[in-house]
Amino acid sequence: MDAIENIFSRKSVRKFLSKEIEQEKIDTLLKAAMSAPSAMNFQPWHFVVIKEKENKDKVIAHMPFGKYDSPLIIIPCVKSLRSVPFQHDLSNCDLSAASENILLAAHDLGLGAVWCAIYPSKARAKEIKKELGLSFGLTPFCAIYVGYPDPNDKSQVKNKYKEKNISYM
Ligand SMILES: Cc1cc2nc3c(=O)[nH]c(=O)nc-3n(C[C@H](O)[C@H](O)[C@H](O)COP(=O)(O)O)c2cc1C
């Protein structure tokens, strides 16, 4: 699939088969995430990969709009870098770019995925961090549910292109 076709045909998938995802594909998702652009190339990220049901349940318990049953959850986290003074401004942008790369790579690999918000809720990030016992410098940014799409998933690709959202100058 070429890149433009991939972007145009991606959609959020919220129903998954229980089929396990091959480690090679998980590795590709993580490589895609870390290929994202990063302000001043600080790469202020860490990716928590959750396969164990017990740990998935801990996340889902704190996700009011993310109660999906997937074989895998990836939690992109902001990693605090003591050497970086203005990290708080741009690390969320870096994490967004990395998260979108995961969605697009998943689609290319025949997987489905949905990005569910943790940021900007500090309370949700704190609860999930505590539940998972994440180290001090990590702040969960979002939860990406990944799996092979259930053929019964009726979600459609949405055409969001609107000329009124464009200005030429
Ligand atoms: C920052 C962000 C937060 C989102 N949070 C949720 C969420 O909590 N639960 C959910 O089901 N989908 C969530 N989504 C997915 C959006 O609902 C979805 O992208 C949107 O409806 C457009 O559909 P599409 O992804 O199929 O194009 C989120 C997407 C983004 C970018």
Q: Is the pLDDT of residue 97 over 90?
A: yes
Ligand 1 pocket test, pick from 68, 73, 114 with the greatest ligand atom count within 8 Å of Cβ, gives 114
Of how many residues is the chain composed? 169
| Beta carbons of 129 and 138 less than 8 angstroms apart | yes
Question: Is pLDDT of 1 > 80?
Answer: no
Q: Which residues 6+ apart lie within 8 Å of 119 measured at CB?
A: 92, 95, 125, 141, 142
| Residue 104 alpha carbon to ligand 1 centre in Å | 14
User: What's the chain's average pLDDT?
Assistant: 95
Per-residue CA distances from 84 to 41, 75, 87, 99, 146 (Å) = 11, 22, 6, 21, 32
Q: What is the CATH number of domain 22-146?
A: 3.40.109.10
Does position 86 have pLDDT exceeding 80, yes or no? no
Cα separation, 114 vs 143, whole angstroms:
8
| Domain definitions of the chain by residue range | 22-146
pLDDT tens for 7-32 read 999 999 999 999 999 999 999 999 99
pLDDT band for 80, please (50, 70, 90 cuts): confident
- Supply angle C-alpha 120, 124, 130, rounded to 5: 130
Atom number, ligand 1, closest to the C-alpha of residue 160:
27
Residue among 109, 34, 97 at smallest CA distance from 72: 109
The one-letter code for the residue type at 5 is E
Cβ 66 under 6 angstroms from ligand 1: yes
Distance between CA atoms of 69 and 75, rounded to whole angstroms? 15
